[in-house]
Amino acid sequence: MIAAHAAIPAWAQTTPNPQTAPVEFRTIRLQSIRLDEQAAFYSNTLGLPVRQQDGGLKVTAGRTVLEFSPAPPASQPFYHFAFNIPENQLEDSMKWLRPRCPILPRPNGAGEIYHFANWNAHSCYFLDAAGNLLEFIARHTLPNASRSGFDSGSLLSVSEIGLVTDSVPGIAERLKSSFAVQNYFNGSDEFMPMGNEHGLFILVKRGRAWGIVSRPAEVYPVEVRLAGGSRRSLKLDPLPYRVESGG
């Protein structure tokens, strides 16, 4: 049984706001170093389908495709994204992951499981070959429990992507006006999730520590295509972010 932890991050202490239409990420495009190592990690460690083409990678994770293109010289991009897994299989996912990849311990030494009580979710964190912060998250609000053994096919989708900015409220308003994406809960000027359990933009103030790792949040290119909706495109200038829908 998953044990609840007393220490809940401040950003997860308020109740999520409902949103009727799911926000789902069809494609997420990122930059990366160590592309050969990344190909081995996502193919061999996580067991996901990987295609190498045009000097980059395409990784299929359930309903989402992650695309990694080569980072410019001397750049070391750093991202946070999360995979939805069946809501009853966090412990199974950790047993599956542990021999393949180290799971990051909680900073306070209280094990490896994070309990986000008001999100009704449990998760664990680990790093890929380029040092990106990855997460398996079991969202108990979703009716996706599984009786099958956990494997790579249990990674259902990418359900979170971090967007780093100097103005969290400014980016939030532009996402609302362009795609009707709502606040997941009442965030702050430093941290604001937007969307719902199927897909969350995690808006973070530049320089803020992620909490799980000490590295501060930094700006690197991100392109996201949402599933469904009318055809729209939003370039979040001056940041290197683009969000599209439709098509």
Reading the chain (247 residues) residue by residue, the pLDDT tens digits are 333 333 334 434 444 544 445 689 999 999 999 999 999 999 999 999 999 988 899 999 999 999 999 999 899 999 999 999 999 999 999 999 999 999 999 887 779 999 998 899 999 999 999 999 999 999 999 999 999 999 999 999 999 999 999 999 999 999 999 998 999 987 899 999 999 999 999 999 999 988 788 889 999 999 999 998 788 999 999 999 999 998 6
Query: Rounded to two decimals, what is the model's pTM?
Result: 0.90
Could you list the residue range(s) of the whole structural domain that residue 27 is in? 17-245
With respect to residue 6, please indicate whether it lies within any of the assigned structural domains: no
Element containing residue 35 per DSSP (H, E):
helix 35-40
The b/e string for 78-88 (b: 16+ C-beta within 10 A; e otherwise) is bbbbbbbbbbe
With DSSP H G I counted as helix, E B as strand and the rest as coil, what are the percentages for the chain, rounded to 5?
Answer: 15, 35, 50
With respect to residue 233, please indicate whether it lies within any of the assigned structural domains: yes
With respect to residue 191, please indicate whether it lies within any of the assigned structural domains: yes
Intra-chain end-to-end CA distance of the chain, in Å = 43
Are 203 and 80 in contact by the 8 Å Cβ rule? The answer is: no
With respect to residue 7, please indicate whether it lies within any of the assigned structural domains: no
Residue with tokens 């239409």: 21
| Total of domains in the chain | 1
179 contact partners, CB below 8 Å, separation of at least 6: 23, 226, 229, 232, 234, 243, 245
With respect to residue 86, please indicate whether it lies within any of the assigned structural domains: yes
The sign one gets for the Cα dihedral 213, 199, 229, 154 is positive
CATH code for the domain in which residue 241 is found: 3.10.180.10
With respect to residue 116, please indicate whether it lies within any of the assigned structural domains: yes
With respect to residue 49, please indicate whether it lies within any of the assigned structural domains: yes
With respect to residue 12, please indicate whether it lies within any of the assigned structural domains: no
52-102 pLDDT per residue, tens: 988 899 999 999 999 999 999 899 999 999 999 999 999 999 999 999 999
User: How far, in Å, CA of 73 to CA of 118, rounded?
Assistant: 42
